[in-house]
Structure 1
Amino acid sequence: MPPAESPVVIPGSTVPLPRDGGAPVAEGDVIGFAADEMRYDDRGQIVTASGNVRLNRDAWRLAADAIEYNQLTGVVIATGNVVAIDPEGNQALGDRIELTDSLRDGAIDNMLLVLNDGGRLAAVEGQRSDQVFNLRRAVYSPCAVVGSDGCPQTPAWQIKALRISYNRGKHRLSYRNASLELFGVPVMYLPSFSHPDGEAKQASGLLLPGIKLQRQLGLGISLPYHFALAPDRDITVTPWFYTAVNPALQLQGRRLFAKGPIEIDSLFTYTRLGDADANGNIVDKGNRFRGYFALKGNLQHTPEWRSRFSVRLTTDDTFNRLYGLGFDDMLRSTYALERQTSDSYLSVAAWAFQGLRITDRAGEIPFVLPLIDYDWRPRDLVLGGRLHFGANSMNLFRTDGQDVARALAFARWDRSLLTPIGQRVTFTGMMRGDVYHVDNADKATLPAYAGVDGLRARAIPVAAVDVEWPFAGPALGGTQTITPRVQLVATPATQNANFPNEDSRAIELEDINLFDLNRFPGYDKFESGTRITYGIGYALDRPGWALTSEIGQSVRIAGDGSAFPAGSGLSDQLSDFVGRTSLKYGRYFELIHRFRVDRSNLAVRRNEFDIQIGSPQTYATIGYIKLNRNILLEDLEDREELRAGGRVAIARYWSVFGSAIVDLTTATSNPLTTGNGFEFIRHRIGAEYEDECFRLGVSWRRDYIGDRDFRPGNSFLLTLAFKTSPR
């Protein structure tokens, strides 16, 4: 007769669960064992495993120093360094765990539950019933409790509670008699409270309040509530309460349709409105409905067709600035139906604008319906070159201003070839035809942009030859390339004087358009005559850093350049010099300099710097631009501006940041002007703490430029974020 208990050294085994009537063992009715030593008691039907015990059933796993499994009662008792892992990867650690043989339900002493998203739950004792953990005298935190040096540390934030219920299926934690602690200090009592875990894709509930202090609004507190309506839609309702003005309501919504996403953002209130009278004095117009509405979306109808749209509207000029929604002086609303293939593009669009400057007149703001663009680039070569066909049609109208209808089409042919000595020669031929119809030309905002009433047409033939000759070789431990370039462009005299100018106003000779066939932006103006453009490019590439530079000029052989305003750099026979230099060192330094120098007296007409220094943690950005063109058109006014910003990491989790915009154009009579020829537009300074589970920031912004009922002043903002998913 065999002994009742016999020790067996066994690295792996399976134990079938008891079945009535000797029915066959089904899948899932087998518990897998792996242990250094295993004992089996025939009488008590108890399996005892010890030494690196691993037990699993389906996707449920259990590891411990020792495990006792009673086949009669179906109870599994694990002791010593116990780790229970569910199918989602959540780990329950404890000194002693008593489970059913399904490994799903049971009791745990001195439990530590490590969630799959990185959060942690610790408790004196806990009960697990399938998808729900019920914990007593517990604490939750997603923050690290061990520092980088391996020593214990106080988590940035944690919630202690008498009882915590964690529903893993619903991804939600619920608390009773809880308190919130920041860096170990209790800051808030929470008698009843719940929040989603870090794996919840979406959940309804109250979000963190927002706090800001602004001169004209006073102290503002928001109480946002998020409604997770369905996996493909949600709404956030945020009431704002202010001490100096009436409350406001913010509504944000998102919907993911089968064809694409749509988002809505709005803010509404009923409060005082101050506007300027004919003399520029601020007049209180009493309480009015004021608000902002934005809608944007992108819908993919078929693989080739899609719709893109964006709507931005506000009830008055200063509302967005007053409530911190932006500093735009023009809001744009647009819709475009687009078709894109591998070689063609079609867009049928509509545009509407809302001017927010005090000088804007509603009747002069244009509407565009429709605006049609077509572009086709056949793959087949013609005479060894590439063809490019394009067309554009625009109907622009105003309620009290110049109306323009335009239709044009062009065909362009380009062929590039390499000569035996390494020159790249590109031949270009283009033919374009335009038809314009103008009404109310006498109502144009500026006479320089006006056309002549009636129907007009023009034909624009263009021929060009472009030659580049790069020379490359080793230099200074890297490779340098010197590339001279010469271009000849010939266009017969083109009529520009009697045609309107709606989209060719931002005239600027730059390095990026020096070699363009038409140095006017847009379609309405086209550069005529014959010219030679020449320049030289230089590039030096070394391991870790790179330098590129280019400079050029054009000479007008035929034509007088009268279509360009004086000061644009293109109105004389010789153009100004333009160029660009870029220096980049790894990821830590980048400098870009763009310039335009007057060809007659070498005065700097454009001087622009953009500098980036530092790492992602500590960095500085500096931008400077000075335009000294002496152009009388208001669209091309001279200006000088300095922009600066940066962030400095002062500790592992702490940083300070700031930014500023300074107008250097001219000292004004503004009392806030320093008297030294410059004045601040706005600046912002702040400090922030951010680790893997918590962010706290405070910032101060000051606006120096007012606009009607938006007055210069200070704004303070407090940001607070509790991260439930540090990963």
Structure 2
Amino acid sequence: MFQQTARARPFWLATASGVALATCPVMAQTSEESTPTEEAAGTPDLQTPDVVPTTSDAPDTASEQQIGFAADNLNYDGDSEVVVAEGNVQMNREAIEMRADKVTWNRQTGQVFAEGNVMIKNPEGDIAYGDKIELTDTLRDGVVENLLVVLDNGSRLAAVKGTRFDNGNIELENAAYTPCPVEDDEGCPKNPSWQVRAVRVLYDRAKNKVRYKGARIEIFGLPLIPLPGLSHSINNEPSSGILVPEIRLDRSNGFEIAVPYYLRIAPDRDMTITPHVYTDAAPMLEGEFRALTDIGSFRINGYATYGSLVPLVGEAPDTQKRFRGYLESAGKFQFDPRWSLTYSGRVATDRTFMRRYDISRDDRLRSTFELERIGSNSYLSIAGWATQTLRVNDIQGQQPIALPIIDYRQRLDDPIFGGQFELQLNTLAIGRTAGQDTQRAFAGAQWNLRGLTGLGQEVTLTALVRGDVYHSDENLLTAIPGYRGKSGWQARAIAAVAADMRWPFIGEFAGGTQTLTPRVQVVATPPIKNLDIPNEDSRAFDLEDSNLFAINRFNGHDRFEDGARITYGLEWNYSRPGFNINSIVGQSYRLTDKPSLFPDGTGLTDRSSDIVGRTTIAYRDFLRLTHRYRLDKDNLAVRRNEFDATIGSRSTYAVVGYSRLNRDILLLGEDLQDREEVRAGGRVAFAKHWSLFGSAIVDLTQQRDDPLSGADGFEPIRHRLGLAYDDDCLSIALTWRRDYADTGDARRGNSFSFRIAFRNLGF
């Protein structure tokens, strides 16, 4: 062993870990301009040299001041005090391993040279390669020629020349960085999808930061994007700077360029500020703030501009400029294992702002909060919500504000029959600035007992009681009479009993297993005072397979189905490895001749209901088909028809959807309207990493389906078509979209967008 008096880590350790670019998840540009510098001769080589790592034969060191040394030949000239080691030279110190063809140490001048297939590996698994390394005997500073650093995550840094100074700073000349593979699937060399090239790279050890001079990004070998002042930290933390711009072109705003600036405020807080500049619209500013606290996280996102507003249909023209914007925020906080708070808020200054600037196509903005306590046998929720409508013909004053909504539930075991009780307390207050106000409170209890008979029948018995109290005013402001109820105080009592029996039969069929399950349910409920009660949460009902066997087939609490009925159905399931078919069909029959509470066209108006069903077919991850339907009980006409299909692999697939609601009525006394539409989308991979994608929505509604609609039976709503490239470290997409409807200043027409994302670069 050779005794080393200096305690500094060897230069090759700093080279392998100090300038390892892949240790930073976010890279960004600073605002400073790069200074032109003379580029070092040569080209940085990102390919791994033909050096095979070997097990070190150098002995372990007893202290960090010692260096383990092994070589095929070792010569020492006592006169010149030069040590020359040749042939598979291996050295180690503090778990750092180095090998080279030859190492020369001049003890008089203090110079150390390592040359020929130099390779250094640090404890983290990073490997550095070089042709020549020149050091002082303090091992604090030196020079490396043709440096290559390969990190344990596959990222690479190469430089024609690297210099380490006594203070720990490092300078690389004519450098390149990439996280992309440099070999194809067959192990042959290839150019990376992208790389950062720079005239000079400076590593500041004190600030733990890397800065670039004359940096640019090369994509497929072409220098496309200059990055003046590119910099980043190397301590696994993102750093502030300019991110990759976004480019769009559309009919409403013209050409758009957005340049995000990322601001690292603290390890648990950051902000992104994005100016948007348009050729046909006023500039817009976007900002997003994110924070992580000890008990949760939240974010705030906003858009703001100052411009004119094109009026909606039927509104008076207004060319006066005004503030326009959109604000949203969401977060969740976990106070302890049982208590949590979740909130989401969304608000816009007008109804077309979000659509014009392509922020979202939602036609309603809902803001909510919910405080929850979840116990082993209890649940408490204190919530509230409000809605802002963006629909053209809706009145904002008619939109409900629900505050508070309190729901408490408690489960108790039945010590006598072995069933389970669930107690529930619920209260709701709904207010409107120009509409009906409603308050509700109820208390209920439900008992369930589930068991198996000796013949294998699964039987569930249910008993339910509930008492409701309502108060409402301004009832005449509700447009649909069936939703109003009587103003003032109203009360009602609800009781129901039910028995549900399922009897599965299992057997072999066509090389697989089939299960045939008949199901029968009987529900009895005394007459209930429903129409005197305001209807806030039991609207837009339609019979389908998901609610066929529900005790109360109305959604919500404001309506409860009364009378006695029997519901019967059949479920068939067939499965074999990788393949499954599931189908259910059913119908119900009311045992009383009392007029139905359900509106016309819902499938439950008469004593015999319509026939509803669903069929799902799945084959591995390649195919999934779902068909839902409702057939008229009298003539088997299709009143509801929904079809959804997903076919293909992850790289090439098609998604098709069709839906039609045909209630065969002219006037509808509730919200759900007849309509027909078809949806299609897909992606086709036509080469390695390349694909075409697209989607379209077409409204097929005719005036015979909806007399108030101006549709002619084929009205495209929007479509998009794009070209994409996607590999392990680069994503590029060019998209064309066309909208077919004007909404205020959100104009119909074409829009184009270009997106590029560099993985492992933080963009």
| TM norm. shorter chain > 0.5 | yes
Q: Which deviations, in whole Å up to 9, do the C-alpha atoms of 1:323-375 show, x marking residues without a partner?
A: 10111111111111111112221111111111111222122111111001112
Structure 2 Cα separation of the partners of residues 555 and 14 of structure 1? 96
Does structure 2 conserve the Cα–Cα contact (< 8 Å) formed by 1:83 and 1:91?
yes
Pairwise CA distance, 1:142: 2.7
Q: Is the aligned partner of 1:367 residue 2:401?
A: yes
Q: TM-score, normalised by structure 2?
A: 0.87
Alignment equivalent of 1:437, drawn from 471, 486, 495: 471
Does structure 2 conserve the Cα–Cα contact (< 8 Å) formed by 1:198 and 1:724?
no
> 1:637 — aligned with what?
673
Structure 1 Cα separation of the partners of residues 464 and 742 of structure 2? 50
Give 1:667-682 correspondences, 5 Å limit: 677-682=713-718
Q: Which deviations, in whole Å up to 9, do the C-alpha atoms of 1:585-643 show, x marking residues without a partner?
A: 01111111111111111011111111111111111111111111135135110111111
Pairwise CA distance, 1:560: 2.8
Q: Is the aligned partner of 1:137 residue 2:171?
A: no
Q: Which deviations, in whole Å up to 9, do the C-alpha atoms of 1:78-132 show, x marking residues without a partner?
A: 3322222344443221112234678674321111122444332222211235864
Amino acid at match of 1:259: I
Pairwise CA distance, 1:43: 7.9
Q: Percent identity?
A: 48
Change beyond 3 A, Cα 1:39–1:528: farther
Q: Which deviations, in whole Å up to 9, do the C-alpha atoms of 1:459-518 show, x marking residues without a partner?
A: 111111111111111111111111111111111111111111000002011111111100
Give 1:494-643 correspondences, 5 Å limit: 494-558=528-592, 560-630=594-664, 632-633=668-669, 635-643=671-679
> 1:223 — aligned with what?
259
| Helix, strand or coil at the partner of 1:283 | coil
| Helix, strand or coil at the partner of 2:687 | coil
Structure 2 Cα separation of the partners of residues 72 and 560 of structure 1? 112
Alignment equivalent of 1:250, drawn from 286, 289, 307: 286
Pairwise CA distance, 1:713: 1.2
Amino acid at match of 1:541: S
> 2:447 — aligned with what?
413
> 2:525 — aligned with what?
491
Structure 1 Cα separation of the partners of residues 436 and 90 of structure 2? 83
Change beyond 3 A, Cα 1:157–1:466: same
Q: Is the aligned partner of 1:29 residue 2:65?
A: yes
> 1:272 — aligned with what?
308
Q: Is the aligned partner of 1:160 residue 2:197?
A: yes
Give 1:186-265 correspondences, 5 Å limit: 186-189=223-226, 192-196=228-232, 200-265=236-301
Pairwise CA distance, 1:187: 3.0
| Helix, strand or coil at the partner of 1:442 | helix
| Helix, strand or coil at the partner of 2:310 | strand
Structure 1 Cα separation of the partners of residues 140 and 623 of structure 2? 56
Structure 2 Cα separation of the partners of residues 491 and 233 of structure 1? 56
Does structure 1 conserve the Cα–Cα contact (< 8 Å) formed by 2:309 and 2:320?
yes
> 1:147 — aligned with what?
184
Does structure 2 conserve the Cα–Cα contact (< 8 Å) formed by 1:172 and 1:194?
no
Structure 2 Cα separation of the partners of residues 231 and 457 of structure 1? 56
Amino acid at match of 2:334: Q
> 2:493 — aligned with what?
459
Structure 1 unaligned spans of 5+ = 1-12, 20-24
Structure 1 Cα separation of the partners of residues 233 and 627 of structure 2? 49
Does structure 2 conserve the Cα–Cα contact (< 8 Å) formed by 1:561 and 1:570?
no
Amino acid at match of 1:543: P
Alignment equivalent of 1:90, drawn from 123, 126, 149: 126
Pairwise CA distance, 1:411: 1.0
Change beyond 3 A, Cα 1:326–1:559: farther
| Helix, strand or coil at the partner of 1:558 | coil
Does structure 1 conserve the Cα–Cα contact (< 8 Å) formed by 2:210 and 2:234?
no
Change beyond 3 A, Cα 1:198–1:214: farther
Q: Is the aligned partner of 1:699 residue 2:735?
A: yes
Pairwise CA distance, 1:275: 1.5
> 1:181 — aligned with what?
218
Amino acid at match of 2:660: K
Does structure 2 conserve the Cα–Cα contact (< 8 Å) formed by 1:282 and 1:708?
no
Structure 2 Cα separation of the partners of residues 219 and 230 of structure 1? 35
Which stretch of structure 1 is more off in the superposition, 43-52 or 118-127?
43-52
> 1:719 — aligned with what?
755
Pairwise CA distance, 1:691: 2.1
Structure 2 Cα separation of the partners of residues 471 and 49 of structure 1? 82
Structure 2 Cα separation of the partners of residues 168 and 534 of structure 1? 76
Amino acid at match of 1:176: K
Does structure 2 conserve the Cα–Cα contact (< 8 Å) formed by 1:124 and 1:136?
yes
Change beyond 3 A, Cα 1:420–1:228: same
Structure 2 Cα separation of the partners of residues 533 and 675 of structure 1? 38
| Helix, strand or coil at the partner of 1:363 | helix
> 1:122 — aligned with what?
158
Structure 2 Cα separation of the partners of residues 393 and 637 of structure 1? 30
Alignment equivalent of 2:436, drawn from 385, 392, 402: 402
Amino acid at match of 1:707: T
| Helix, strand or coil at the partner of 2:482 | helix
Which stretch of structure 1 is more off in the superposition, 589-598 or 355-364?
355-364
Q: Which deviations, in whole Å up to 9, do the C-alpha atoms of 1:528-548 show, x marking residues without a partner?
A: 011111111111111111111
Does structure 1 conserve the Cα–Cα contact (< 8 Å) formed by 2:449 and 2:462?
yes
Alignment equivalent of 1:61, drawn from 97, 103, 108: 97
Amino acid at match of 2:699: D
Change beyond 3 A, Cα 1:44–1:341: farther
Give 1:651-666 correspondences, 5 Å limit: 651-666=687-702
Change beyond 3 A, Cα 1:559–1:172: farther
Q: Which deviations, in whole Å up to 9, do the C-alpha atoms of 1:48-81 show, x marking residues without a partner?
A: 6555444322243323334456778776533322
Does structure 2 conserve the Cα–Cα contact (< 8 Å) formed by 1:57 and 1:102?
no
Does structure 2 conserve the Cα–Cα contact (< 8 Å) formed by 1:695 and 1:721?
yes
Structure 2 Cα separation of the partners of residues 511 and 137 of structure 1? 67
| Helix, strand or coil at the partner of 1:546 | strand
Q: Is the aligned partner of 1:329 residue 2:366?
A: no
Amino acid at match of 1:431: V
Does structure 1 conserve the Cα–Cα contact (< 8 Å) formed by 2:515 and 2:574?
yes
Q: TM-score, normalised by structure 1?
A: 0.91
> 1:22 — aligned with what?
none
Amino acid at match of 1:666: Q
> 2:145 — aligned with what?
109
Structure 1 Cα separation of the partners of residues 209 and 104 of structure 2? 32
Structure 2 Cα separation of the partners of residues 71 and 473 of structure 1? 87
Structure with the larger RCO, 1 or 2 (CA within 8 Å, 6+ apart): 2
Structure 2 Cα separation of the partners of residues 546 and 43 of structure 1? 86
Change beyond 3 A, Cα 1:68–1:534: farther
Which stretch of structure 1 is more off in the superposition, 337-346 or 599-608?
337-346
Alignment equivalent of 1:315, drawn from 300, 325, 349: 349
> 1:473 — aligned with what?
507
Amino acid at match of 1:389: L
| Helix, strand or coil at the partner of 2:743 | coil
Structure 1 Cα separation of the partners of residues 642 and 609 of structure 2? 19
* CA RMSD across the alignment: 2.7
Change beyond 3 A, Cα 1:94–1:313: same
Pairwise CA distance, 1:181: 2.7
Structure 1 Cα separation of the partners of residues 134 and 72 of structure 2? 21
| Helix, strand or coil at the partner of 2:274 | strand
